[in-house]
Structure 1
Amino acid sequence: MKIAPSLLSCDFSKMGEEIERMDQAGADWMHLDVMDGHFVPNITFGAPIIKAVRKLSNRPFDVHLMISEPLKYIDDFADAGADIITFHVECDSDIDSTIDKIKSRGVKPGLVLKPNTPAWTVFPYLEKLDVVLVMTVEPGFGGQSFMPNMMPKVKEIKRECHRRGLDNILIEADGGIGRDTIEQAADAGVDVCVAGTAVFRAADPAKAIELFKTF
């Protein structure tokens, strides 16, 4: 299991220090949620912030765009240092064009599904993807409870990837991941877990991350 601490749960006044803390604790990726206040009812940070903190870690930056028109901003986030850019299949941009734009910048593309979006919506694009992110909470705010009924969706996507010989695609889960829920994610076939409060508020983040990686 790869662990990607969600910077949405960090102390924003010390974001750089928080990234370094997670880096030293053994995080595999850094997960950065970008929200526009339109696609989801919250606003976080944009490309300038990501660019400012990029130099503080060599870990892959996993940038999750919860925005209505991601195609318009791919260059901004690629320039800021994103290694992976995931965007929502429910967005207003053309999906194929957005994936192609991400790939043209040498960045790994991924698609994200909200809880009410069925697994099959990403199937037409699987051959072009590196990551599929299944939201296990409604996107927009941190600290929500894990939705176990999303695990059949993970299994369905995993089966389809295997059927097509696309076992290189990583299945990521985001929302409510912690000590009590990560085993369910692992059993369903999740490869990367986004963890927020479970690592940032842990007494010992390194021990928490080490434990999560055993699943």
Structure 2
Amino acid sequence: MLCAAARQWLSFILFGYYAGRVQITSAVLDEIRYRTKPRAENSGWMQSAASEAVRVIGLRPSLVDDSEQYDAKIFDDVHRRLQSLAEAAGKAVGGNRHTGEAESIARCVALVKDGEKVIFLTNDTDASRVAAEHRIATLHFGSILQELVCAGRLDTNRASNLLQEVLQHSGINPGAIGALSCLASGGSCLTCDDLARRL
């Protein structure tokens, strides 16, 4: 998700709008750093986006939640579930794969238990599914772009162009995304209102 958001202009808007409300775990940061390396599975687009994400995170160290305050059993259960879903789909498993998603979901569960309102941001379909199994609300990059459009922080054309680019490199289901325009009418927008309730 952060790799998708890693455009200098967009990260400025994103982190300005969500100031103090976005955090990533140290395992996610490790995965992003891994994506900056020239490897067969890392396309040029991914390497570039990951490098920009690392740069942006470096400017905002408070984004990283390295507390690791979560239930180790929840982490293990989530990690096993993510690995099994990947294996069932014929995807690569093993090693540190899915560690970032597992740590993020485990941390979300811990925060919810502490009474915090949490939304897990991910473009990974399996991670969204497992988060939902733990009653964690999720949003993907298209949802974030929609909110920025509704908030007047991003115009529809720019949002749509960026989404089309990201769809080529992510697991977002394009059918789950609307027109990326604010449907405000009479001072009310169903999309805006729904996002406001969730956030």
Structure 1-normalised TM-score? 0.32
Greater gyration radius: 2
Which structure shows the higher helix fraction? 2
Structure 2-normalised TM-score? 0.34
Which structure shows the higher strand fraction? 1
